[in-house]
Amino acid sequence: RKCIVVITGASSGLGLATAKALSETGQCHVIMACRNFLKAERAAKTAGIPKENYTVMHLDLASLESVRQFVDTFRRSGMPLDVLVCNAAVYLPTAKEPTYTAEGFELSVGTNHLGHFLLARLLLDDLKKSDYPTKRLIIVGSITGNTNTLAGNVPPKANLGDLRGLVGGLNDLNSSPMIDGGEFDGAKAYKDSKVCNMLTMQELHRRYHEETGITFASLYPGCIAETGLFRNHVPLFRTLFPPFQKYITKGYVSEEEAGKRLAQVVSDPSLTKSGVYWSWNKNSSSFENQLSEEASNAEKALKLWEISEKLVGLA
Ligand code: NDP
């Protein structure tokens, strides 16, 4: 049978390119878990994904109620779950003031980390039940986790501190919209959320890999400088960023190539090792990358797990 893959945020950029690459293998059916149903349908059509290879289901990660509803709808479809890809993200580098999810968490960490945290935890049961031989749970990471690169060191750098802002519920009524309890900074909030994504993948691996056989993985697909992720940036940045990445840092990768990379992590039989953060070198071959100290700190991963459980209502 076909492999059933849920991809969050498959209505544009990396998620859409991955859905297309997986569809082209002829061996996958993609559940496009998206907040804008019509946009997702149109995107799938425009990308030329055949109707029988995808289903759009509504999911707004900025609402925990919507996450629970999505899980319910998916279960009622009767389809098994073989692979979950947590891909959606928001990036608000120019925001002066924080904005919030339905439950009142700062939007970047609330969407990118907490929404996915609840989704992954709930769908773990479905993955366990699937009879598919290579079950996987993938959380898209970012270069901000590797401090051995130039881009991973550009300020403001990710820093979760002692997680006091997260304990306070990520809003400025109680404490601070930032995980470390500091002043709001949209670019930093995004980077912090990506560190959370990578820590969560490793904690999932430690807790569940042996017992379930599920492969847990994260990746940095390269700098996909033209995706919608940069839609909130200033126009000059959006003009200069792609050539800068192409010719200066040489980290640039097209949406199509990035989609092929993520599709590899979803379905390549040679990429089934669990607990790995994948990256690609210049000739596009995959390798196991090292994470920064903070993004691989097991103590922090555990603390993040326990606080996140409370915030999303699992503990
Ligand atoms: P895009 O903005 O093109 O795609 C992001 C997707 O997330 C969109 O489909 C968007 O939906 C969706 N999304 C945003 N908020 C929500 C929400 N509340 N609920 C459900 N879906 C939501 O960006 P990319 O394709 O670049 O980003 C995809 C992933 O790749 C992210 O995890 C990002 O961190 C990562 N990444 C990107 C890099 C890059 O250079 N671009 C580099 C490294 C990692 P909608 O279409 O409705 O807006």
287 CA to centre of ligand 1 in angstroms: 23
227 CA to centre of ligand 1 in angstroms: 8
Mean predicted confidence (pLDDT) in 172-183: 93
pLDDT of 309 above 90:
yes
- Write down the pLDDT at residue 148: 63
- Rounded to 5°, angle at Cα 105 from 102 and 108: 100
Give how far the C-alpha of residue 164 lies from the chain's centroid of Cα atoms, to the nearest Å: 23
Residue type for position 116: H
Comparing C-alpha atoms, which of 157, 166, 122 is closest to residue 292?
157
Residue type for position 229: L
For atom 29 of ligand 1, the residue with the nearest CA is: 87
263 CA to centre of ligand 1 in angstroms: 16
Q: What percent of the chain has pLDDT above 90?
A: 81
243-257 pLDDT, tens digit each? 888 787 778 889 999
User: Hey, which of 227, 250, 255, 261 would you mutate to test ligand 1's pocket, going by the most ligand atoms within 8 Å of its Cβ?
Assistant: 227
202-247 pLDDT, tens digit each? 999 999 999 999 999 999 999 888 888 888 888 888 888 888 887 8
133-175 pLDDT, tens digit each? 999 999 999 987 666 667 777 889 899 999 999 999 999 887 8
For atom 34 of ligand 1, the residue with the nearest CA is: 89
Comparing C-alpha atoms, which of 197, 202, 93, 99 is closest to residue 154?
93
- Write down the pLDDT at residue 252: 86
Q: Count Cβ neighbours within 10 Å for each residue of 241-269 and write b for 16 or more, e otherwise.
A: bbeebeeeeebbbebebbbbbbbbbbbee
88 CA to centre of ligand 1 in angstroms: 4
- Closest atom of ligand 1 to 35 CA is 20
Collapse the DSSP code of 100 into the 3-class scheme (helix H, G, I; strand E, B; otherwise coil) and give the result. Answer: strand
Residues classed as catalytic: 190
| Average pLDDT over the chain, rounded to an integer | 94
- Write down the pLDDT at residue 147: 63
For atom 31 of ligand 1, the residue with the nearest CA is: 89
Comparing C-alpha atoms, which of 86, 147, 118 is closest to residue 297?
147
Mean predicted confidence (pLDDT) in 294-313: 97
- Write down the pLDDT at residue 230: 81
> Which residues have C-beta atoms less than 6 Å from ligand 1?
8-9, 11-15, 34-36, 39, 59-62, 87-90, 111, 140, 142, 194, 220-221, 223-225, 227-229
ipTM of the complex as predicted? 0.99
